[in-house]
Amino acid sequence: MRSAKIPHVSAMEPLLPEGRALSERALQLIREASALGAQLHPVTCRPVADLLRSINTYHSNLIEGHNTRPRDIERALDGNLSSNPERRSLQLEARAHVEVQRLVEARLDAEPSLRVTSPDFLCFLHRAFYERMPKSLRRVSSADGKHVRTVDPGRLRDVDVEVGRHVPPAPAALPRFLERFDEAYDPARLGGLEAVVAIAASHQRLLWIHPFLDGNGRVARLYTDACLRRAGLGGHGLWTASRGLARHRARYFGALAAADAERRNDYDGRGARSAAGLVDFCQMFLDICLDQVTFMGSLLELDGLLTRIEGYVSRRAAGGLGPRLPPEASLLIREAVLRGGFPRGDAARAAGASGRSARRIVSALVKERLLVSDTPKGPLHLGLPVHVVGFYFPQLYPEDVL
């Protein structure tokens, strides 16, 4: 292995790219994200956000080459684990990712001053994820296959590594690089458009540092999700960068590698790394974020969503998608979407049916989780089980995995 010794943190420079085009992309992202989900009742946004955690998990794992089917993720969250060891391990990995997302969201809400760029927070992400991982996915083999190491949750790596052509900092240098990372990207010292561009740049530089023996990609994406929330962009939880990165996986990895490269010539910035490579990565990253915000905006447009729900129930009423549902079921789901939820006593009025018929319809919808409730007699809210995702939100997952 080539020497991994890097003498100074300046080897990571530049850290903040420059360019009007990046600022324009950041401004557009802020504007479009702020409008996301504006038509939906805030309570209706909650199950969508729950769904997006699973979608984020699916695509983040897919980037790592782990294809865990959405139905298996749903079953894992319900505690229904496969008897097949490999499939079970992937379910546990997916469940760990969802749980850590929830944990991060709770910390961000409870700790307004939490520094998401700090080494402590990065180690927290790694520790929280790997503590929940099955033992089979905590083992890492050396490149020659002769050595196997177990990943220690939350611990910085203590060995030299190579990532493609990139040689990350030596283990002894990691604290210095992470300290510089925190200093450069601390949200408290950045603001406005620069803060959004910095999120893209810090994603790349965190992977360049490669602080952990394994799990750096997942930690980087969890970290980036936390940064986007902390930056105050609108549409929290209603879009995910990981879906776009997974859809453009080769482009993503190529841009990461190009930004790893050393300075090309005298016109390529003043730092040790390629300024043009970092700018290109940030442009790619922000473009992907914009694409995902626009995509989710089209799916969350109220009239279109209600039309797709009505179409789904119509097909069920015709017996084309399994057990029949009465056509009036769409009226109850519509009520949940528009109002965020409704008391069970309102079901008869909303469905235009007798009390007995309304109770029967509610029972059928609750059984399939098309409507959900916190208690047996509590208000009814929108449910989004995996089997309806392809109808309510087409193309959110690849069709062949649903």
Q: Which of 299, 318, 334 is the endpoint of a domain?
A: 299
pLDDT category of residue 402 using cuts at 50, 70 and 90: low
Q: What CATH number is associated with residue 241?
A: 1.10.3290.10
Residues 111, 172: one domain?
yes
Residues 231, 311: one domain?
no
Number of domains forming the structure of the chain = 2
Asked if residue 250 belongs to a domain, the reply is yes
Q: What pLDDT does residue 3 have?
A: 45
| pLDDT per position as a tens digit, 220-239 | 999 999 999 988 787 888 99
pLDDT category of residue 2 using cuts at 50, 70 and 90: very low
Residues 179, 241: one domain?
yes
Whether pLDDT at 399 is above 60: yes
Q: What pLDDT does residue 4 have?
A: 46
- The predicted model gives 378-396 an average pLDDT of 95
Higher pLDDT, 254 or 265: 254
The answer to whether residues 190 and 115 touch, using CB atoms and an 8 Å cutoff, is no
Residues 317, 231: one domain?
no
Residues 105, 147: one domain?
yes
Whether pLDDT at 270 is above 70: yes
Asked if residue 1 belongs to a domain, the reply is no
Q: What pLDDT does residue 302 have?
A: 95
Q: Which of 299, 329, 359 is the endpoint of a domain?
A: 299
Whether pLDDT at 335 is above 80: yes
Q: Which domain holds residue 337?
A: 302-392
- The predicted model gives 1-30 an average pLDDT of 82
Q: What pLDDT does residue 19 have?
A: 84
Whether pLDDT at 400 is above 80: no
What is the share, in percent, of the chain residues with pLDDT greater than 70? 97
| pLDDT per position as a tens digit, 97-122 | 999 999 999 999 999 999 999 999 99
Higher pLDDT, 142 or 221: 221
Residues 289, 313: one domain?
no
Residues 134, 274: one domain?
yes
Residues 256, 317: one domain?
no
Residues 66, 205: one domain?
yes
Whether pLDDT at 143 is above 80: no
Asked if residue 125 belongs to a domain, the reply is yes
- The predicted model gives 154-182 an average pLDDT of 94
Residues 127, 265: one domain?
yes
Residues 333, 200: one domain?
no
Half-sphere exposure of 199 (CA within 13 A, CB side): 29
Q: Tell me what the pLDDT averaged over the chain comes to.
A: 92
| pLDDT per position as a tens digit, 52-105 | 999 999 999 999 999 999 999 999 999 999 999 999 999 999 999 999 999 999
The least confident of 11-20, 142-151, 155-164 is 142-151
Q: Which of 230, 264, 299 is the endpoint of a domain?
A: 299
- The predicted model gives 241-247 an average pLDDT of 95
